[in-house]
Homo-oligomer: A and B are copies of this chain.
């Protein structure tokens, strides 16, 4: 084989899904474990608490070709998306002053806020560097990761600005999570899809479905917060409400019951009462119904893409996991 053929071969490498998923997880851990010495202490700590890689799963599912194989570039992009997600979590923990995440002490708690801010910046640039390393440069440009990153930052900022805002409307709440959470799911679906199709209309459908999945994921996550609070007798888990994050279950409960709304606004409701009341007023039931509408839209879009059964099943796994839950 000539060098050129070897290169083409490596560019063209394709994997079975399970194999690709394993490779992605290994790649993420490798990047965290083999960071430059100065930062390895921090990144190695983060490697202990990587998540379920749902965004990477979605990206690789959307990238499957006619033979249901995942191209090597999808593994690279999926690793980048997970590192980007990790970067946002590190900064989130600084912002929220969080002590633990996924049962592990946060970076900011263990090493201080300064190290955490910089380490988040490092992961962010590492993710973009990794994403831009795929051999098909025009693909990378089409994806436009920095643009998605802008949207995510703005979602975060709008959430921060609306911290403690008990007048937040359903509409504005949905538009916040569209940036904060759904943009990265959309980027994942987009990144995978552009490796499997050139059809602009289909690309838009994939992106739309990715966005819907992100909405489902965040809405269900918001419900978990209320349901956990209720059942787990609030150990030292700090809840959304106690951090001033106003989510759909509470918004709906307040919309349903004016006197409750007045009491909350006047600070007359304890956290414990609030959780009970939100469940009673159907706050989480309503939120799940909204998520259900996104579920319907997403599966409809995915059904219209004309996919193989295997590919459709992989993508629907992401939709189902977002809806029926795995914790982040």
Contacts and interface: CB of A to CB of B under 8 A. Distances in A.
Contacts of A114: 95, 160
A14 interface: no
A154 B95 contact: no
B150 A141 contact: no
A36 B158 CA distance: 11
A167 B132 CA distance: 39
Nearest to A88: B121
A161 interface: yes
Interface string A143-181: 010110110011011101100000000000000000000
Interface residues of A, number: 36
A126 B141 contact: no
A38 B176 CA distance: 11
A137 interface: yes
Query: How often does this chain occur in the complex, in copies?
Result: 2
**Listed residue (A115, A121, A150, A156) with the most chain B CB atoms within 10 angstroms of its CB:** A121
A39 B179 CA distance: 13
A124 interface: yes
A144 B132 contact: yes
B137 A91 contact: no
A46 interface: no
Contact of A132 (B141, B156, B158): B141
A156 B158 CA distance: 28
A122 B158 CA distance: 12
Interface of A: 36, 38-39, 91, 94-95, 113-115, 117-122, 124-126, 128-129, 132, 137-138, 141, 144, 146-147, 149-150, 153-154, 156-158, 160-161
